[in-house]
Structure 1
Amino acid sequence: MDAGEGARAEAARRRAEKRAGRIAAGAEELEQRLIDLLRGGLAGADQAGYAPWDEMAARMVDAQAPGLAARVRELGALPGSGEDWPERLLSECALLHLLTRAYLRLDALSAPLAETVKARVGLTVETAELLADEARLIRDEWLVLAQRDTEEGRLTARRVWLHGRATGHRALLLAYGAGGRGPELTLPPGEVLDADLAYYPGAGPLRAALGEQHGAPLPGFRPPGGSVPDALRAYGQALGADPWLDGWPFVLVEVVPVPPPGVRSGAGPVQGHGHSLARGPARAGGAGWQLADAGTEFAVPVAPGTAEATLWMLLALSAEGPLTVFGEVGHRGFAPHTAWSGDRAIPL
């Protein structure tokens, strides 16, 4: 290493130390604000409006902790959002407290969990650095399971889920767009890429960076998957590695949508009832709907917020028989993203 490279490395180290110190100070401040909130009681949190949460999120941005800022903004949307909002707010405050305490005690954590905590507060490895490490690269034929856009403040976040044909690995690509423009990354569901991926470090790695693509897209295929109990076990295992997960990608096979009582299904009778999941029941958008293993007693509620059009599309597709459905299983239920008719992917 020459003198110039040494100086740049030292400057980078100092910048990293400075940012880590700012994040630690922000975490301490956030801890105190959570304590003040709980001491004052949650009952009045809906009367204060969104301004206090927005100001708190801005403080976390100033502390260079965008992950903490995003979670604070999510907290601000809970007061007054339903009859059980104090319970949900308390639960999410507890998770945020766990995250801040974990960051302040990084040295006491295992290396994979420490990487997960750093990623959750907003400290991630640069993509170029990740892809430059050839030991991290995994080449496979990656099936695009789904692509979804969400608005996060002034940014549009695009999430693309992949399944490796040979490895069986699942991966999540994340890209952002700003200024009214969508992210540049566009991968239609059902497309297959012969490409290199590199996973970001962390416990139970999922997020990855897309590297070199080898040739043109390949014909699609129907992904393998499992049952409703398999999905719940997979989510439970992932949650053990990352307590801040809202959902885990999973492909359900041989399932049928079950509408609420009073809505007739053309898919035939299904036995059984849905299992309740932790951290609150489904309410609006998908309330009462389930996805059930065909011919068994196992079912999972459809997550709230699922569009009515998605529910009826699933019901129509199931008229020809049980479905393969990809989505995210989590504490609110199962959020369906893509279904398959033969080897053809149908975005929901």
Structure 2
Amino acid sequence: MIERWNRDQVLALAPDAPSRKAAQGVSSPGKWSGVGVAAEAVWGECAGSGSKPYRACVDLSEPAYRCSCPSRKFPCKHALGLLLLWSADGVPAAERPADWAAEWLDQRKARAAGAAASSSGAGRAASASAPDPRRAELREQRVTAGLAELERWLADQVRQGIAGSRRHDHWDGLVKRLVDAQAPGVAGTVSRLGAVLSHEDWPARLLGEYALLHLLAVAHRRPPAAREPGEDSGAELLQTVRERIGFPVAKEEVLAGRTVRDLWDVLGRRDSEQDRLITRRVWLRGRATGRAALVLSFAPVGQALDASLVTGAVLDADLAFYPGSAPLRALVAVRHDGEAVSAGPAPGNTPEQALEEVARALAGDPWLDSWPMVLEAVTPAKNGSWLLASPAGGLPLHPSCGTPWRLVAASGGHPLTVAAEWTPEGLWPLTTWDEKGQVIVL
């Protein structure tokens, strides 16, 4: 049976703040009947406004949710409330799930088996049919032309000065041309340049962004064979450049590559929205290998995101990494039995060791803008701005974090282990652990 999650882990699954509040309102034992937990599932019936109670069941191995309520949120407040009740030791153990819950779990297993067989067949079919070389060549030509125009545009900006960049629509025309050139990665980077204007030192920041764009365009223009002796001309760097430009890599290709098995700490997640699309970034780190990993998922606003990686869990799994000179993004290829949920703090580093790791990653991928860190023996402190301090120094928090009240309360002035997402502007705290080794979502 999977070890109980704590309250923070459950609330981290909520799609929004109102769902978290509503879940706590239906988490009292008096609201529930017929509750039970067995193996990897928890179920129960929650009294609602109608004559029949809502039936909720959670497959803890994913997790996956089922509820008879009409809510469009995923997971709904009843599934979250049931998990909160379970986390408070309010759900008794049972030998087997209720009949209606067992039926749903059996259907999930049947669908998973069918999907695995279908995926295997689709993979064989895909490998048998090669992509259209004419279409691929045409895209290469469009990208090359689009990046050549980007180089000329950047040269004009430096020659004419960047005072005219104060208008937020300054880059709109360039973005459209890059989209037409089938370079969506570069187009996305250019479309976000307007955010730089909100900073006092925007000229220096904008020139830095322009330099990275120029570096990307030049890296695409210079094939590995044309590089100077001693430069890294490996396929990994070329793959990183193509990924940043926007050339896709099929999941099947990634999963067919070499995998890395480890006990992966799920350090935390962060959601962001752009153009009505939610991106979820889930950060992991291997206990034995020390490798960092990022699992991405996407969904339109209002639709459910992947919640299968629970913050604070320790996942025994094989990860398949996307190719590149600083591999970070990964897919969960295989989950193994024996998943643990509460294993104490993830192994940490000093701030100096963490920065050395980031420096090595940036040497391989200069366009990298985030990386997971686990810092040990640090204390939240304020020295003009908030930072995570250690005897040897400290790392500043991201200005948008505000006052990290939850982290300050967890610390109480004492050092602790903190998982955070590094960005060029500072750290985003993700999780910490209390004296009992229980995870606290920040």
Secondary structure of residue in 2 paired with 1:198:
strand
For 1:106 and 1:241, how far apart are their aligned partners in 2? 17
In the alignment, what sits opposite 2:424?
A: 331
In the alignment, what sits opposite 2:147?
A: 27
Q: How does 1:88-99 map to 2 (within 5 A)?
A: 88-99=205-216
Q: Is 2:375 aligned against 1:252?
A: yes
Shift of 1:164: 1.8
Shift of 1:225: 1.3
Residues 320, 330 of structure 2: 8 Å contact kept:
yes
For 2:350 and 2:358, how far apart are their aligned partners in 1? 12
Shift of 1:5: 8.3
In the alignment, what sits opposite 1:345?
A: 439
Secondary structure of residue in 1 paired with 2:171:
helix
**Which one of the candidate residues 54, 66, 83 is aligned to 2:200?**
83
Secondary structure of residue in 2 paired with 1:78:
helix
**Which one of the candidate residues 97, 105, 128 is aligned to 2:252?**
128
- Amino acid aligned to 1:229: E
**Which one of the candidate residues 150, 158, 162 is aligned to 2:280?**
158
Shift of 1:180: 3.1
Shift of 1:333: 2.6
1:75-119 C-alpha deviation (Å, 9 max, x unpaired) = 12223x122111110111011110111111133432211111111
- Amino acid aligned to 2:382: P
**Which one of the candidate residues 389, 398, 417 is aligned to 1:303?**
398
Q: How does 1:130-279 map to 2 (within 5 A)?
A: 130-133=254-257, 136-215=258-337, 217-221=339-343, 222-260=345-383
Indicate the larger mover: 15-24 or 249-258.
Answer: 15-24
Indicate the larger mover: 200-209 or 103-112.
Answer: 103-112
For 2:178 and 2:295, how far apart are their aligned partners in 1? 25
Shift of 1:193: 2.1
Shift of 1:216: 6.6
For 1:226 and 1:154, how far apart are their aligned partners in 2? 37
Residues 170, 249 of structure 1: 8 Å contact kept:
yes
Which structure has the greater CA radius of gyration? Answer: 2
For 1:185 and 1:102, how far apart are their aligned partners in 2? 37
Residues 287, 347 of structure 2: 8 Å contact kept:
no
Residues 235, 330 of structure 1: 8 Å contact kept:
no
Shift of 1:148: 0.9
In structure 2, list runs of 5 or more residues that go unmatched: 1-124, 228-232
**Structure 1 pair 150–106 and aligned structure 2 pair: CA distance change class (3 A):** farther
Secondary structure of residue in 2 paired with 1:145:
strand
Shift of 1:7: 8.6
1:314-342 C-alpha deviation (Å, 9 max, x unpaired) = 11111162111111234323221111214
**Structure 1 pair 233–7 and aligned structure 2 pair: CA distance change class (3 A):** closer
- The number of residues matched between the two structures is 309
In structure 1, list runs of 5 or more residues that go unmatched: 262-287
Shift of 1:128: 1.6
For 1:231 and 1:301, how far apart are their aligned partners in 2? 13
For 2:364 and 2:260, how far apart are their aligned partners in 1? 22
Q: Is 2:238 aligned against 1:114?
A: yes
Using the size of structure 1 for normalisation, the TM-score is: 0.82
Residues 264, 284 of structure 2: 8 Å contact kept:
yes
For 1:321 and 1:26, how far apart are their aligned partners in 2? 53
In the alignment, what sits opposite 2:5?
A: none
For 2:190 and 2:127, how far apart are their aligned partners in 1? 39
Shift of 1:185: 4.6
RMSD of aligned alpha carbons: 2.2
Secondary structure of residue in 2 paired with 1:305:
helix
Secondary structure of residue in 1 paired with 2:137:
helix
Residues 372, 421 of structure 2: 8 Å contact kept:
yes
In the alignment, what sits opposite 1:281?
A: none
- Amino acid aligned to 1:189: T
In the alignment, what sits opposite 1:15?
A: 135
Shift of 1:74: 1.9
For 1:8 and 1:70, how far apart are their aligned partners in 2? 31
